[in-house]
Every structure is written in C-alpha cells, then in structure tokens.
C-alpha cells in the first residue's frame, strides 16, 4: 500500500484535517497536499508517517 493511500485511510478514519496530520506526524502542514501533487517522501519522512499512523494517535 502506498504511503498516500495509508494517510488517506487514516484521515478518513479519524476525521483529522490533512494539515494537522502533517504537522503532528512530521512538522510539515503541507505534507499531504504535496504528496497529492506528486512529492516523493524520503525514507525518514515515510518512517515518521508510518510510526505516527501505527501509534493510533487520534485528533
């Protein structure tokens, strides 16, 4: 599963706004928008996002 698909599922499941997700996960409120426009995250960013999603943290 791609990182963006996982993020979108998380956002739908939690109701968290994309900017809040980016800020909390990697301190970048533009993360989700940039990913939707084709940005390719590095390994460190992807690992932080996966860890945030895996933590089950909610809004």
pLDDT tens over the chain, length 59 residues = 799 999 999 999 999 999 999 999 999 999 999 999 999 999 999 999 999 999 987 76
CA 42 distance to own-chain centroid: 13
Structural domains of the chain, count: 1
CA 41 – CA 33 distance, rounded (Å): 12
Alpha-carbon torsion, ordered 17, 23, 26, 27, to 10 deg: 160
Global pTM reads 0.91
Token output for 41 = 């995250």
Half-sphere exposure of 21 (CA within 13 A, CB side): 27
CA 59 – CA 40 distance, rounded (Å): 25
Domain extent, residue 40, equals 3-55
């Amino acid at each position: 599963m791609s990182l963006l698909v996982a993020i979108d599922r998380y956002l739908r499941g939690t109701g968290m706004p994309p900017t809040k997700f980016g800020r909390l996960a990697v301190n970048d409120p533009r993360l989700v928008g940039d990913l939707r426009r084709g940005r390719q995250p590095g390994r460190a960013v992807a690992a932080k996002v996966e860890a945030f999603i895996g933590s089950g943290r909610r809004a």
